Amino acid sequence: MLYALVMVVVGFALVTAVRAAPSTSGSVNVGDRQEELIQVIQDLETRRDALELGLVSLRLEIAGLDTRAASSKGLVADFASQTRHFSMAAGLLAVKGPGLEITIADNPRPQEQGLDAEGAIVHDYDLRALVNALWLGGAEAIAVNDERLTQFSAIRCVGATVLVNTTRIASPFVIKAIGDPEILGAALHAESDSRALITEYVKRYGLKLSVQKSAGLEIPEYRGRLTPRKLMPIEET
Protein backbone atom coordinates (compact mmCIF):
# COMPACT_ATOMS: atom_id res chain seq x y z
CA MET A 1 0.00 0.00 0.00
CA LEU A 2 2.87 2.38 0.78
CA TYR A 3 4.49 1.58 -2.59
CA ALA A 4 1.23 2.38 -4.37
CA LEU A 5 1.05 5.69 -2.54
CA VAL A 6 4.58 6.53 -3.72
CA MET A 7 3.66 5.72 -7.30
CA VAL A 8 0.60 7.98 -7.08
CA VAL A 9 2.83 10.82 -5.84
CA VAL A 10 5.29 10.20 -8.67
CA GLY A 11 2.54 10.10 -11.26
CA PHE A 12 0.99 13.30 -9.98
CA ALA A 13 4.36 15.02 -10.09
CA LEU A 14 4.95 13.80 -13.66
CA VAL A 15 1.61 15.13 -14.84
CA THR A 16 2.30 18.45 -13.14
CA ALA A 17 5.71 18.66 -14.73
CA VAL A 18 4.35 17.89 -18.17
CA ARG A 19 1.60 20.50 -17.82
CA ALA A 20 4.05 23.07 -16.60
CA ALA A 21 6.33 22.56 -19.58
CA PRO A 22 6.02 25.07 -22.45
CA SER A 23 3.39 24.12 -25.05
CA THR A 24 4.65 22.48 -28.23
CA SER A 25 5.08 24.78 -31.20
CA GLY A 26 6.88 24.73 -34.46
CA SER A 27 9.79 26.63 -32.92
CA VAL A 28 10.47 24.03 -30.19
CA ASN A 29 12.94 21.33 -31.05
CA VAL A 30 11.40 17.86 -30.56
CA GLY A 31 14.72 16.42 -29.41
CA ASP A 32 15.08 19.06 -26.70
CA ARG A 33 11.52 18.39 -25.57
CA GLN A 34 12.19 14.66 -25.20
CA GLU A 35 15.40 15.32 -23.26
CA GLU A 36 13.49 17.57 -20.85
CA LEU A 37 10.84 14.89 -20.27
CA ILE A 38 13.50 12.23 -19.76
CA GLN A 39 15.22 14.42 -17.18
CA VAL A 40 11.91 15.04 -15.39
CA ILE A 41 11.20 11.30 -15.25
CA GLN A 42 14.69 10.55 -13.95
CA ASP A 43 14.32 13.19 -11.23
CA LEU A 44 10.96 11.73 -10.22
CA GLU A 45 12.39 8.21 -10.12
CA THR A 46 15.19 9.47 -7.89
CA ARG A 47 12.62 11.04 -5.55
CA ARG A 48 10.61 7.82 -5.60
CA ASP A 49 13.68 5.78 -4.62
CA ALA A 50 14.39 8.20 -1.79
CA LEU A 51 10.80 7.93 -0.55
CA GLU A 52 10.96 4.14 -0.62
CA LEU A 53 14.17 4.19 1.43
CA GLY A 54 12.49 6.55 3.87
CA LEU A 55 9.53 4.19 4.16
CA VAL A 56 11.85 1.25 4.88
CA SER A 57 13.51 3.29 7.64
CA LEU A 58 10.11 4.22 9.10
CA ARG A 59 9.01 0.59 9.07
CA LEU A 60 12.15 -0.43 10.97
CA GLU A 61 11.60 2.35 13.50
CA ILE A 62 7.96 1.31 14.01
CA ALA A 63 9.04 -2.32 14.47
CA GLY A 64 11.53 -1.20 17.13
CA LEU A 65 8.84 0.80 18.92
CA ASP A 66 6.49 -2.19 18.84
CA THR A 67 9.23 -4.38 20.37
CA ARG A 68 9.89 -1.87 23.16
CA ALA A 69 6.15 -1.48 23.78
CA ALA A 70 5.74 -5.24 24.10
CA SER A 71 8.68 -5.36 26.51
CA SER A 72 7.18 -2.51 28.55
CA LYS A 73 3.85 -4.33 28.72
CA GLY A 74 5.66 -7.36 30.10
CA LEU A 75 7.40 -5.26 32.75
CA VAL A 76 4.11 -3.62 33.71
CA ALA A 77 2.43 -7.04 33.99
CA ASP A 78 5.28 -8.35 36.17
CA PHE A 79 5.12 -5.26 38.38
CA ALA A 80 1.34 -5.57 38.73
CA SER A 81 1.68 -9.25 39.66
CA GLN A 82 4.33 -8.50 42.30
CA THR A 83 2.28 -5.62 43.68
CA ARG A 84 -0.76 -7.88 43.99
CA HIS A 85 1.31 -10.54 45.74
CA PHE A 86 2.75 -8.07 48.25
CA SER A 87 -0.66 -6.48 48.79
CA MET A 88 -2.16 -9.86 49.69
CA ALA A 89 0.71 -10.59 52.06
CA ALA A 90 0.32 -7.15 53.69
CA GLY A 91 -3.41 -7.66 54.12
CA LEU A 92 -4.46 -4.95 51.67
CA LEU A 93 -6.53 -7.29 49.48
CA ALA A 94 -9.48 -9.51 50.33
CA VAL A 95 -8.48 -13.16 50.05
CA LYS A 96 -10.03 -16.61 50.06
CA GLY A 97 -8.84 -20.15 50.61
CA PRO A 98 -9.07 -23.21 52.85
CA GLY A 99 -8.54 -23.01 56.58
CA LEU A 100 -10.17 -22.98 59.99
CA GLU A 101 -13.09 -21.03 61.41
CA ILE A 102 -13.02 -20.81 65.20
CA THR A 103 -15.96 -19.45 67.17
CA ILE A 104 -15.51 -18.73 70.86
CA ALA A 105 -18.12 -17.04 73.07
CA ASP A 106 -18.80 -16.06 76.68
CA ASN A 107 -20.69 -18.34 79.02
CA PRO A 108 -24.18 -16.73 78.98
CA ARG A 109 -25.17 -17.93 82.48
CA PRO A 110 -22.10 -18.25 84.72
CA GLN A 111 -23.89 -17.30 87.96
CA GLU A 112 -26.47 -20.05 87.51
CA GLN A 113 -23.61 -22.49 87.26
CA GLY A 114 -21.80 -21.00 90.24
CA LEU A 115 -18.86 -19.89 88.09
CA ASP A 116 -16.59 -16.90 88.38
CA ALA A 117 -18.00 -14.22 86.09
CA GLU A 118 -14.55 -12.95 85.15
CA GLY A 119 -13.45 -16.37 83.98
CA ALA A 120 -16.68 -16.96 82.09
CA ILE A 121 -16.00 -14.26 79.50
CA VAL A 122 -13.56 -14.32 76.61
CA HIS A 123 -10.63 -11.97 77.16
CA ASP A 124 -8.13 -10.38 74.79
CA TYR A 125 -5.43 -12.80 75.89
CA ASP A 126 -7.67 -15.74 74.97
CA LEU A 127 -7.98 -14.42 71.43
CA ARG A 128 -4.27 -13.71 71.27
CA ALA A 129 -3.51 -17.28 72.35
CA LEU A 130 -5.58 -18.67 69.47
CA VAL A 131 -4.27 -16.17 66.92
CA ASN A 132 -0.63 -16.72 67.89
CA ALA A 133 -1.04 -20.49 67.55
CA LEU A 134 -2.57 -20.03 64.10
CA TRP A 135 0.33 -17.82 62.99
CA LEU A 136 2.76 -20.45 64.25
CA GLY A 137 0.78 -23.02 62.26
CA GLY A 138 1.49 -21.17 59.04
CA ALA A 139 -1.70 -19.16 58.65
CA GLU A 140 -1.43 -16.86 55.62
CA ALA A 141 -4.29 -14.55 56.62
CA ILE A 142 -6.33 -14.13 59.82
CA ALA A 143 -9.36 -12.05 60.71
CA VAL A 144 -11.25 -11.66 63.99
CA ASN A 145 -14.89 -10.70 63.46
CA ASP A 146 -13.88 -9.66 59.93
CA GLU A 147 -11.08 -7.41 61.19
CA ARG A 148 -8.02 -8.37 59.15
CA LEU A 149 -4.86 -8.75 61.21
CA THR A 150 -1.55 -7.29 60.05
CA GLN A 151 1.81 -6.48 61.65
CA PHE A 152 0.21 -3.26 62.90
CA SER A 153 -2.77 -5.00 64.54
CA ALA A 154 -3.35 -5.26 68.26
CA ILE A 155 -5.92 -7.20 70.30
CA ARG A 156 -6.68 -5.74 73.72
CA CYS A 157 -9.55 -5.34 76.15
CA VAL A 158 -11.36 -2.01 76.43
CA GLY A 159 -13.92 -2.25 79.19
CA ALA A 160 -16.38 -5.04 78.45
CA THR A 161 -15.37 -5.25 74.80
CA VAL A 162 -12.28 -6.18 72.82
CA LEU A 163 -10.51 -3.75 70.51
CA VAL A 164 -9.08 -5.21 67.30
CA ASN A 165 -7.23 -2.68 65.18
CA THR A 166 -9.45 0.32 65.94
CA THR A 167 -12.78 -1.55 66.05
CA ARG A 168 -14.64 -2.63 69.17
CA ILE A 169 -15.96 -6.20 68.94
CA ALA A 170 -17.82 -8.41 71.38
CA SER A 171 -18.71 -12.05 71.96
CA PRO A 172 -19.17 -14.24 70.00
CA PHE A 173 -15.74 -13.98 68.39
CA VAL A 174 -15.21 -15.59 65.00
CA ILE A 175 -11.60 -16.17 64.00
CA LYS A 176 -10.96 -17.10 60.37
CA ALA A 177 -7.53 -18.36 59.35
CA ILE A 178 -6.49 -19.34 55.83
CA GLY A 179 -3.90 -22.09 55.60
CA ASP A 180 -3.63 -25.87 55.75
CA PRO A 181 -6.57 -26.91 57.98
CA GLU A 182 -4.77 -29.97 59.37
CA ILE A 183 -1.62 -28.07 60.30
CA LEU A 184 -3.60 -25.17 61.77
CA GLY A 185 -5.65 -27.58 63.89
CA ALA A 186 -2.51 -29.30 65.14
CA ALA A 187 -0.93 -25.94 65.99
CA LEU A 188 -3.84 -25.05 68.27
CA HIS A 189 -3.01 -28.08 70.41
CA ALA A 190 0.77 -27.74 70.10
CA GLU A 191 1.05 -24.22 71.50
CA SER A 192 0.73 -24.21 75.31
CA ASP A 193 -1.56 -21.19 75.80
CA SER A 194 -4.08 -22.17 73.13
CA ARG A 195 -4.00 -25.81 74.29
CA ALA A 196 -4.75 -24.76 77.88
CA LEU A 197 -7.61 -22.57 76.69
CA ILE A 198 -9.16 -25.31 74.55
CA THR A 199 -8.68 -28.27 76.86
CA GLU A 200 -9.02 -26.63 80.30
CA TYR A 201 -10.53 -23.15 80.52
CA VAL A 202 -13.33 -23.69 78.02
CA LYS A 203 -14.63 -26.60 80.06
CA ARG A 204 -13.92 -25.04 83.46
CA TYR A 205 -15.78 -21.79 82.75
CA GLY A 206 -18.36 -23.02 80.29
CA LEU A 207 -17.09 -21.01 77.31
CA LYS A 208 -18.62 -21.86 73.95
CA LEU A 209 -16.06 -23.09 71.42
CA SER A 210 -16.27 -24.61 67.96
CA VAL A 211 -13.52 -25.29 65.42
CA GLN A 212 -14.60 -25.97 61.86
CA LYS A 213 -12.56 -26.81 58.78
CA SER A 214 -13.54 -24.93 55.64
CA ALA A 215 -12.56 -25.25 51.98
CA GLY A 216 -13.57 -21.71 51.09
CA LEU A 217 -13.03 -19.06 53.73
CA GLU A 218 -13.20 -15.40 52.73
CA ILE A 219 -11.24 -12.78 54.63
CA PRO A 220 -11.64 -9.03 53.94
CA GLU A 221 -8.84 -6.56 53.39
CA TYR A 222 -7.30 -4.52 56.21
CA ARG A 223 -9.11 -1.20 56.51
CA GLY A 224 -6.96 0.56 59.08
CA ARG A 225 -3.82 2.69 59.00
CA LEU A 226 -0.71 1.23 57.40
CA THR A 227 1.50 4.32 57.14
CA PRO A 228 4.68 3.87 59.22
CA ARG A 229 5.36 6.74 61.61
CA LYS A 230 9.02 6.07 62.42
CA LEU A 231 10.28 3.71 59.74
CA MET A 232 12.81 5.10 57.28
CA PRO A 233 14.43 3.23 54.37
CA ILE A 234 18.19 2.66 54.44
CA GLU A 235 19.67 4.36 51.41
CA GLU A 236 22.05 2.23 49.36
CA THR A 237 25.61 3.56 49.15
What pLDDT, in 10s, does the model give residues 49-104?
777 777 777 778 878 887 777 777 777 777 677 777 777 777 889 999 999 999 99
pLDDT in tens, 191-219: 999 999 999 999 999 999 999 999 999 99
Q: Say which DSSP state 97 is in.
A: E
Q: Does pLDDT of 169 surpass 70?
A: yes
40 vs 219, more confident? 219
> Is the pLDDT assigned to residue 127 strictly greater than 70?
yes
pLDDT at 79: 67
Please write down the long-range contacts of 106-112, taking CB distance under 8 Å and 24 or more positions apart. 106/171, 106/172, 106/207, 106/208, 107/205, 107/206, 107/207, 107/208, 109/206, 110/205, 110/206
| Average model confidence (pLDDT) across the chain | 82
CA distances from 189 to 50, 101, 103, 150, 181 (A): 83, 15, 16, 23, 13
What is the identity of the amino acid at 7?
M
pLDDT category, 7, cuts 50, 70, 90? Answer: low
- Higher per-residue pLDDT: 56 or 8: 56
Amino acid 30: pLDDT: 63
* Average pLDDT estimate for 106-124: 81
Q: What is the DSSP letter of 200?
A: I
| Share above pLDDT 90 across residues of the chain, in percent, rounded to a whole number | 45
Q: Alpha helix locations (H) across the chain?
A: 2-20, 30-90, 124-136, 181-190, 192-196, 202-205
Q: Examine the pLDDT at 190 and tell me if it is beyond 90.
A: yes
pLDDT interval class at 16 (50, 70, 90): low
What's the confidence (pLDDT) of residue 77?
73
Give whole-number Cα distances, 80 to 10, 101, 140, 150, 156, in Å: 50, 31, 21, 22, 36
Sequence letter at residue 198: I
Is residue 5 scored above 80 in pLDDT? no
Question: Percent of the chain scored above 70 by pLDDT?
Answer: 81
Per-residue confidence (pLDDT) for residue 111, from 0 to 100:
67
